[in-house]
Structure 1
Amino acid sequence: MRLAELTTDEAAERRGAVVVVPVGAVEQHGPHLPLGTDIRIAAGVAEAAVLRVEGTLLLDPLPIGCSEHHRSFPGTVSLRVRTFMDLVADVAGSLAADGFVPVFVNGHGGNRGPLNAALQELLERGVGAWAVTYFERIGDEARQAFPADSMGHACALETSISLSLWPDLVRGDRIPARPGAPAYPDPSLFSTAGVVRHRRFEEFGPDGIVGDPRLADEAKGAGIFSAAVERVAQTLRRIVGTRAD
């Protein structure tokens, strides 16, 4: 299942496989969630999805993403946008040159624009690659579980998933007693504002949260994680089928 555990001869025998690459971030997630929340969730979704889909392999995660907007909070590690794009392009180019189909499974909102731009540059080089952000595939389930304005960053959604996967890493006693501050354009994870403005996270308040982690629920988190795995698996099946065609 893991590309890095194959020998070079075994990798050659798997040419044509879809190689799934988790990408995320190591950045502040409020006072209650670990810095690695984004990459841990993305890697968990990717691994579980690969287990469900024949013709796929898993590459080790690319943990660091575009997190400059979180840098005022200690522990945040960030790549420049150009560096991140080059990293994605180099990884995808290497995989494609060996006959694999690269698919990036993303867990960080700040990576979405750079990922799309990297895929466009790859297209100009004749390299086909794919990207899917797990939370964009589960908007309906998430909105059924939580109010839209409770989801943004270190929020009800991420805290619930974290409680279901690694409860020992959630500092429940440090969840703030108030939700993150609203702003315009709407900073919620599933905004319908149709307007984009990039901000530094200290503008939202002193704790780096958007949304309301007080609403977190472990059982809801487990259900949403399962939905994310299945939606990403469905995407991988379609990509495998496209490759076969």
Structure 2
Amino acid sequence: MINRVKALSKPLSERWGKPVLNKWGKKIYLDQMTMKELEERVKENDIVFLPVGSTEAHGPFEPLGEDTIIGVSIAERVCYETGCTVALPIAYGSHPSHHYGMPGTIPVRATTLIEYVADVIKWLSNAGFKKIIVWNSHGQEYVLPIAKDIAIIEKEVHALILVTSWWKWIQDLLRKAGTGEEIAPGVKLETPFVHADEVEASVTWYVAPDLIDEELLKKEGEWGVVRVIPGKWVNAAGNVFPDKPFNWYDVSHLPEFYYYKKGFVGWPKLADPKKGEVLVNKVIERVIEFVNWLKENYPPGTVPRTWINYEDLFYNKPKEYVEPKG
């Protein structure tokens, strides 16, 4: 058996063939548990992370599964420290129109993803997980909250469902990009968070260094940013600036297929694993704080009532019940 912290940084045969354990020596991943272990887990900790990523073009030097790899890596490290569970990731995501057509990008329709995620949520709840964190790591944060509501309204899930993205936990750091301010002593971000850029490449370089082509990244990792509307009005990835009137997904952007054929945006040549380490560790620190609060305030098997039982609604009830006349 192995204890390790960096997800997917070892051969897949080891990931699938050997248990990945938390600091108490218990399994982290749901798919590796037996039914008996599952039953025991939800009695002691019923919080589960459901990573939702993508398979998507990230340039000639970053892996297609970058979003998924980042999300799973962070979730694993949080669960290593907290005793929570990581469900298998959903590795094919929804995409905005400007992503379509890129080789290696595998988009699914938003409606398909919504139904799929809602179904997974339903049956995670049925398995005993009553706090379900939909852990997003791809540009589909405008889609996943709908899956939450579908799960509650249409699938009648009785659980606390939370949707978040890893970058939401470090927006204060991401806002420092390009300002000259340090995110840690001696560490600066020079360009805003976009796609397969300085930020994302740095994070992947830290969590999965063997999957980055360092030589090619430093040689070819510069493309710039072309906009339909100036950034004064439109947010970049992560929507880290709340004062801008358009979120990044509110605007029809230029298709990558025509304008970003290399599969990345910005200046990934500025990436450095030290930058990724600062960002990832701060996310982990803050998520652990939240998870510990959740564990303390809603122990296993307890959950605030976040749903309506339809039979309780007045219009569902007849005025009286009578014997059948047939």
Query: Which position in structure 2 is the counterpart of 1:108?
Result: 138
The aligned residue for residue 132 of structure 1 is: 164
Matched with 2:7 is: none
Does the 8 Å contact 2:55/2:68 carry over to 1? yes
Are residue 179 (structure 1) and residue 236 (structure 2) matched?
A: no
Q: Structure 1's 242 and 109: CA in aligned 2 closer, same or farther, altered over 3 A? A: farther
Q: What is the distance in 1 between the residues matched to 2:289 and 2:265?
A: 29
For 1:108, what is the secondary structure of its paired residue? coil
Change (3 A) 1:238 1:202: farther
Once residues 285 and 108 of structure 2 are traced to their aligned partners in structure 1, the CA distance between those partners, rounded to angstroms, is 30
Q: 1:67 to 1:188 in 2, by over 3 A?
A: closer
Aligned partner (choices 16, 40, 48) of residue 19 of structure 1: 48
Letter aligned with residue 15 of structure 1: V
What are the superposed Cα offsets for residues 184-224 of structure 1, whole Å, 9 maximum, x if unpaired?
22434445323122434346533333332122122111111
Which residue number in structure 1 is paired with residue 81 of structure 2?
52
Amino acid in structure 2 at the alignment position of 1:156: E
What does residue 236 of structure 1 align with? 291
Q: Secondary structure at the match of 1:19?
A: strand
Whether the aligned pair in 2 keeps the contact of 1:23 and 1:107 (CA below 8 Å) is: yes
Bigger Rg over Cα: 2
Q: Tell me the secondary structure at the aligned position of residue 105 of structure 1.
A: strand
Distance 2:197 2:251 in 1: 20
Equivalent of 2:251 in 197, 200, 203: 197
Tell me how large the CA RMSD over aligned residues is: 2.2
Code of the aligned partner of 1:67: H
Residue 62 (structure 1) aligned with residue 90 (structure 2): yes
- Cα separation, 1, equivalents of 2:54 and 2:40: 32
User: What corresponds to 2:195 in structure 1?
Assistant: 153
More contact order relative to length (CA 8 Å, sep ≥ 6) = 1
Residue correspondence of structure 1 range 77-116 to structure 2 within 5 A: 77-101=106-130, 102-110=132-140, 112-116=141-145
Q: 1:154-212 CA distances to partner (integer Å, 9 max, x unpaired)?
A: 01111111222223322342533332324422434445323122434346533333332
Q: Deviations over 1:26-67 (max 9, x none)?
A: 00112321110000000000000001113x112121111113
1:221 is aligned to: 276
Equivalent pairs, count: 242
Deviation at 1:79, TM superposition (A): 1.5
Classify 1:122/1:242 alpha carbon distance in 2 versus 1 (closer, same or farther; 3 Å): farther
Counterpart Cα distance in 2 of 1:209 and 1:229? 26
| Structure holding more helix per residue | 1
Please report the TM-score for the alignment, with normalisation by the length of structure 2.
0.68
- Are the counterparts in 2 of residues 18 and 100 from structure 1 also a CA contact under 8 Å? yes
SS of 2:76 mapped into structure 1: helix
Give, in whole Å, the separation in 2 of the partners of 1:39 and 1:198: 25
1:82-102, Cα deviation, whole Å (9 max, x unpaired): 111111111110111232122
Moved more, 155-164 or 98-107: 98-107
> For the residues of structure 1 that align with 2:260 and 2:101, how far apart are their CA atoms?
12
Q: Aligned in 2, Cα 1:169/1:11: closer, same or farther, shift over 3 Å? A: closer
**What's the counterpart of residue 163 of structure 1?**
205
Change over 3 Å in CA distance of 1:226–1:120 after alignment to 2: same
Q: Which range is displaced more, 61-70 or 195-204?
A: 195-204
Q: Gaps (5+ residues) in structure 1?
A: none
Residues 1:214 and 1:100: Cα distance change in structure 2 (over 3 Å):
same
**d(CA) in 2 for partners of 1:57, 1:169:** 25
* Residue deviations 1:4-29 (CA, integer Å, cap 9, x gap): 22221222233351111111010011
Worse-matched range after superposition: 129-138 or 7-16: 7-16
Q: Distance in 1 between matches of 2:237 and 2:162?
A: 25
* Matching residue of 1:8: 35
- Give the Cα–Cα distance (whole angstroms) in 2 for the partners of residues 206 and 24 of structure 1: 21
- Identical aligned residues as a percent: 25
